[in-house]
A and B are shown apart, each in its own frame.
Chain A
Amino acid sequence: MAQLLLIVRLAGERVALPAADVEAVVEIDSVVPAPGTPPHIAGLAALRSRVLTVIDCPAALGVPPGEAPQRDAVVAVIDGHPYALLVEEVEDVVEADADPVPLPVRTAPLWRQVARGMVAAGGELLLLIDVPALVAGPASEAA
C-alpha cells in the first residue's frame, strides 16, 4: 500500500510529511514561551489536557519567520512527548504515487538536516521531511 503523505507549506515550499508520523492537525491559539530553550522552541501550548512543545519550523530550518503569525500546526508524538510543529499552511493528505527515493542531488542547505528523500504524489515531486529531525532543530547539526 502506498504511503500517505501530509502536504504542508514550509519556508515557502510545499513539502511532504509521512502521515504515519502525524497525529493531528490543529490550530494553536496561544503559546506560552519557555525561556532558556533553543530558539526553534516557540514554547508550550495546551491541547485538551496535554501540553505540547511548540516547534517554530522556520526557526528550526534557520530561515527568518514569515510575516503572518503561524497558527496551523501538525501534532506529532516523538519518544512519548507530544509536539506541535508550526507550519505556514496545511494543504492536504494524499497518497504517494510510489515509494520515496533518495535525493539524487544536494538540496539547499536549509533542508539538508531534515530531508529524508523525495516522493512523488499527484504527479509532483515533493521533499519528504523527517519529523524528528525537524523537532531536533539546528542543534542536531552538531551531532
Chain B
Amino acid sequence: MDDLLNEFIAETREMLEALSGGLVAWEAAPDDRARLDEIFRFVHTVKGNSGFFDLPRIKALSHAAEDALAAVRDGKRRTDPALVSAVLAIIDRISELAEELETGESAGSEDDTSLIEALAEQAPEPEARAAGASSPSARGASRTIRLPVELLDRMMSGVSDLVLARNELARQLRETGAGGDVSACFERVSSSIADLRDAVTRTRMQRIDNLFAPLPRMVRDLAAETRKHVQLVIDGGDVELDREMIEMLRDPLTHIIRNAIDHGIEPPADREDGGKKPAGILSVSARQAGNQILIEIRDDGRGIDAEALVAKAIALGVVRADRAARLRPEERAALIFEPGLSTAEKVTSLSGRGVGMDVVRSNIERVGGLIDVASTQGEGTILTLRVPLTLTIIPALTIGAAGQAFAIPRSAIEEIVRARSEAVRMEEVGGAAIATIRGRRTPVLHLRQLIGDDAPDGGASAPTADQSLIVLKLAGGRIYALAVDEVHDHEELVVKPASPAIMTAGLYAGTTLADNGRPLLLLDPSALAARAIIGFDEEEKESARDEEAAHAAAARGLEALLFRTLDGGRRMVALGAVERIEEAQARQIARTAGRLRVTLEDRILPLEGCDSVPEGAKVKLLRLTDGATEIAYALDEVLDIVSLSAAVRPAAKAGPVAGVALVGGTQVELLDVHWLFAHRHDIAPGDAAAAPACLLVGADPFLDTILRPVIENAGYRVLREGDPGAEDAATIIGLAEDEEAGAPDLPAEARVVRLRARPEPLGADDDSIHRYDRDAILKALAAPGRKMAGRK
C-alpha cells in the first residue's frame, strides 16, 4: 500500500512538473483547447487515483475542478480569469497536499471549501493563492528510488562489455594455460559476473505481476464504491515485460478496469434479472505472442451499447451519418476511443466523461502498441492491448547471403525448406520467381538481389546449389519465401534500434550483436516484402488465405505441438487434442487411487507424463481432450508447433507413444492420444440415463455401501425399488438369503443375479454368486441373455 501511495505521489509530482508550463500557457491563453484538455486530464487522473487511497481532500478538490473544466469543455461555460485562478489555486493545493502526504507534515492549509467555492461562476477571486509550496526540506526518506532508464541501459551495456571481456580473458587463459589458483580466481570472477548480469537484466525486465499486483485491491475498492460484486481473475503474471513498458501501461490499465467496473459490470440485481450470476467476472490476462505482449481485459458486463455510441458519435460530428451506417460492429465499438465519447448516462466519481478511453488509446499508441475492442451487448466487453517489448530479446535465426550474416525474427518464420528438396518446385514466371512448396504457391524473394549483390551468374531465380527457402508469414497471413544461401543457427538476440542511415535501406528492423561479437543486421520481413513490391492486393490476400486454409485442411492431423518432457526429452502431441496449456501448483498433484491425478478447477484429471509428483513448486500441464473427457499431461516447456511432413514410424508396441517422426533432423516421439484416453481407467459414466440399469433389491446395507460403487464403476445405473424405471431394469441383483426369507416379487423379464453371503453354494442347484466374487458378479452382469433369469 505504501508503495502504491508513493507511486501516486511521485506520479502526481511528475504530472505537475510536466504541466507547469501548460498552466502558465493556459493562464495566458484561456481559450486554448489543447491546454484545457491537458489540465482536465490531470485533474481527472488525480481524481481517479485519489479515489483508491482514501484522500478525501484531494478527491474533492480534483472533482470540483474537473466539473468546472468539463463545463468549459462542453461549451456550457466560458473561461474567465476568475476560473483560471481558481483552478490554478486548486492545482497548487493538490501539489501541497501531495507534498504533505510524503513528508507526513501538515503545511497548515486546512480549508479547501473556499477554493472549491471559488470555482463557482462569477465567484469572487479567492482571497489568496495557496500560500506557496511548503518548504521542500523535510521530505521523508523513501526506500525506493526512481532511476532514469538510460542509467539502467548504461548498466546493461556495461555488464555486456564485462561478459565479452570475460570471454576474451577465458580464451587467453586457456591459451596460456594458467595455473590452478588463477583458474579458481577466474571462476569466481566469472560467476560473480553471471550473477551481476542476471541482476542487471532483471532491473530492466519485470514480471507483469508488478502491473497486476495493485489490481485486486483496486477492484475491491471500486466494487465496494459502486456496490457491485466483482470477481477478479488474473492470469499470466509471469510474463516478462520491459519495466518502462510496465510503467507506461499502468494508467491505461487502471482506466480500463475502472471503466469495466463502473460502466461494464451491472449491479447485482440487474445481473440476476439478466440471468447472470450476481458477481461479475473481470479477467485480466497477459501472454507473449511473438515479440508482442497481449494483455486482455475481459468483463462479462452489459457490453457497449453500439447504437447509443453511434448516435452520440453522429451528434458530436465524429462520423457522418451515412458512414456510420456502414460501420462494421467492431468499428462501432471502437468509437469509444474517439475523444469526448462516453456511453455512460450518468457521470460518476469513478470514470465519468469519456476522457478515459481516448487517453488510453493515445497512451498505448505512444509506446507503439495497439488497442482493440470487441463487445457484445449484454454479454461483455473484451479489450486487447498489444504492446511491443522495447528492449527486445528476440529469438532469431541467423542466415547467410552473399557471404554476409543476417538475422530474421523467428516469430515470422513459418518453415524452412531446401530449395532442392523434393517438396519444392521453383519456377520463373515473367522474371518473377515462384516456389511451389507442397502444393502451396508462394512468391520468392532472393535475399542476394535485395541486398544488391550482383552475382555474375545471377539469374533471377536460378537457385544456387544449396539455397534454402525461409517461408515467412506476415501480419494478415501473407506468405512469401526468402531464398538465402545458408542457414546458420538460432540465437537469442538483444535488438537495438538501427541508426536512421541504416533504416533508409528499408530492409532492416534493427541491429544486434551476435554471440561472436560481430554486428548483425536484423531483417524486417514485411519491409523486405514491401521493397520487392509483391502485389499483395486484397484479392490475392484472400486467395492466399484460401490456399492456406486448404493447406491447413490437407495437413490436418499433422500439426503437432512440440514440447520438452519433464525428463528432458522431446515429444509431440497432435495439436487438435490439446485443449489448452496451463500451470498447476505441485500441491494440486497427488498419487491417489492408484495413479497420479491433478486437481484443476474442482475436477480431478488423470495426470500423465510423469511417474511421481514433479519436483518444484509449479508444473506446466497440457490439457488433452477427446471432446468429452480430459487428461492432463505434465511437461517442462512448450517448444514449438510443427507441421509433420515426414511420415510417422509406428511404435514397436502399443503404449503412450504412437510412433516417431523426424522434426528438424531429430527423432521425436509422437504421443498416442488414443492410448492415453483408452487407459485412463476412470471414465465416469458419460450419459447416466443411457447406461444400463441395474436394480438392487433388499434392505441389507451391503447393497448400498459396498456393492453399489462396484456396479456403478462398471458403468451401470443403480436403481433401488421404487425409483422411476425400476420395474424395467434389465438386471436385478438380490441377496439369496433375502429370497429364502421371502423375497419381494421380481419382474419376470429381467435377468436376476443372486448373491450369497458365504463362499460355498447354498445347495446343489444353487446358481447364486458369492458376494465378494467381484469378477463373477461383473461377468454375470455383462453376460448376454437371461441365463440366470426365472427363479420365480
Contact = CB atoms under 8 A, between A and B. Distances in A.
A33 to B, nearest CB: 6
Contacts of A81: 497-500
B501 A35 contact: no
Nearest to A83: B499
B652 to A, nearest CB: 51
B161 A36 contact: no
A34 B402 CA distance: 12
Contacts of A38: 501, 504
B164 A48 contact: yes
Interface string A17-49: 000000000000010111111100101111011
A53 B499 contact: yes
Given A48-B160, A50-B157, A81-B500, A37 B519 contact: no
A36 B499 contact: no
A46 B451 contact: no
A51 B506 contact: no
B513 A49 contact: yes
B507 A36 contact: yes
Contact of A35 (B161, B498, B507): B507
Given A44-B511, A45-B519, A53 B164 contact: no
Interface in B375-422: 402, 404
Nearest to A32: B519
B511 A35 contact: no
B517 interface: yes
Contacts of A45: 519
Given A135-B501, A137-B501, A32 B450 contact: no
A32 B164 contact: no
B512 A51 contact: yes
Interface residues of B, number: 30
Contacts of A46: 513, 517-519
B708 interface: no
Interface in B510-547: 511-513, 517-521
A44 B505 CA distance: 14
B763 interface: no
Interface in A44-71: 44-46, 48-53, 55
Given A35-B453, A36-B507, A46-B513, A51 B519 contact: yes
Nearest to B512: A51
B404, B500, B502, B513, most chain A CB atoms within 10 A = B502
Contact of B505 (A34, A50, A55): A34
Contacts of B164: 48-49
Contacts of A82: 499
B508 interface: yes
B770 interface: no
Contact of A49 (B157, B497, B521): B157
* Interface residue tally on A, bucketed by range: 20 to 34
Contacts of B512: 51
Nearest to B157: A49
B686 interface: no
A80 B17 CA distance: 24
B496 interface: yes
Nearest to A137: B501
Contact of B511 (A51, A135, A137): A51
Contacts of B520: 32
A81 B500 CA distance: 8
Contact of B502 (A30, A41, A49, A139): A41
A34 B161 contact: no
A131 to B, nearest CB: 13
A121 B69 CA distance: 60
Contact of A41 (B501, B507, B519): B501
B701 interface: no
B452 interface: yes
Contacts of B453: 35
B452 A35 contact: yes
Contacts of B518: 30, 32, 46
A137 B502 CA distance: 13
A137 B50 CA distance: 53
B508 to A, nearest CB: 7
B161 A49 contact: yes
Contacts of B404: 32-33, 35
A82 to B, nearest CB: 8
Nearest to B505: A36
- Most interface-central of B452, B499, B511, B518 (chain A CB within 10 A): B499
Nearest to B404: A33
Contact of B521 (A34, A79, A137): A34
A95 B250 CA distance: 50
Contact of A48 (B157, B497, B505): B157
A34 B160 contact: no
A36 B506 contact: yes
Contacts of B507: 35-36
Contacts of A51: 496, 498, 511-513, 519
A48 B521 contact: no
Interface in A104-143: 135, 137, 139
Given A48-B160, A48-B161, A49-B160, A34 B508 contact: yes
B532 to A, nearest CB: 12
Nearest to B519: A44
A122 B112 CA distance: 67
A33 B434 CA distance: 29
Name the residue among B450, B497, B505 with the largest chain A CB count within 10 angstroms. B505
**Residue among A35, A37, A139 with max Cβ neighbours from chain B (10 Å):** A35
A43 B402 CA distance: 15
Contacts of B402: 35
Interface in B450-465: 450-453
Interface in B347-401: none
B502 A37 contact: yes
16 contacts: A32-B518, A32-B519, A33-B404, A34-B502, A35-B453, A38-B501, A44-B519, A46-B513, A48-B164, A49-B161, A49-B513, A50-B157, A51-B511, A83-B499, A135-B501, A137-B501
Given A46-B519, A48-B161, 8 more contacts: A30-B518, A32-B519, A32-B520, A37-B501, A49-B164, A51-B511, A51-B519, A81-B500
Closest 8 CB pairs of A and B: A36-B505, A49-B160, A35-B451, A44-B519, A81-B499, A53-B499, A48-B161, A51-B511
